[in-house]
Amino acid sequence: QVQLGESGGGLVQPGGSLRLSCAASGFTFNSAVMRWYRQAPGKERELVASISSAGVTTYAPDSVKGRFTISRDNAKNTVYLQMNNLKPEDTAVYYCNVPLMIGSIRNYWGQGTQVTVSS
């Protein structure tokens, strides 16, 4: 079965950095688009970044451009989100996501990892 497992979250001070990891299994990882979402308290879940099977990256919010980098290691079936110069508004649960066509299009989600940016 499809499984996504995020790790790497934690508490950091503003200006700090974290690297999130998402370990994937149960599908052909190297052919899949992988995405990171986040959800802050009281807010909608939003797309943060995506990376195609060819390694083309997209960053959705202007606020993360230049600070966050999505990457993937197909040999490890893992997608990463490097987050630098973190700001309090980055505080959220970060989720790994993959859209797959298994009979029908379906989004698969990890359990999330908490990122808290606070002094």
Amino acid type, 34 = M
pLDDT at 102: 82
| Mean pLDDT confidence for 105-119 | 97
One-letter amino acid of 42: G
- Whether the pLDDT of residue 106 is over 90: the answer is yes
CA–CA gap between residue 86 and residue 81 (Å, rounded): 12
Q: What is the pLDDT of residues 2-18, one digit of tens each?
A: 999 999 999 999 999 99
Cβ–Cβ under 8 Å, residues 78 and 57: no
Report phi then psi at 90, rounded to 5.
-80, -10
- What letter represents residue 25's amino acid? S
In single-letter form, the type of residue at position 107 comes to: N
Interval 36-41 mean pLDDT: 97
Q: Which of 42, 20, 40, 43 is nearest to 97 (CA)?
A: 20
Mean pLDDT in residue range 48-75: 96
Which residue pairs from 41-44 have beta carbons closer than 8 angstroms and sit at least 24 positions apart in sequence?
A: 43/92
Name the band, by pLDDT with cuts 50, 70 and 90, for residue 112.
very high
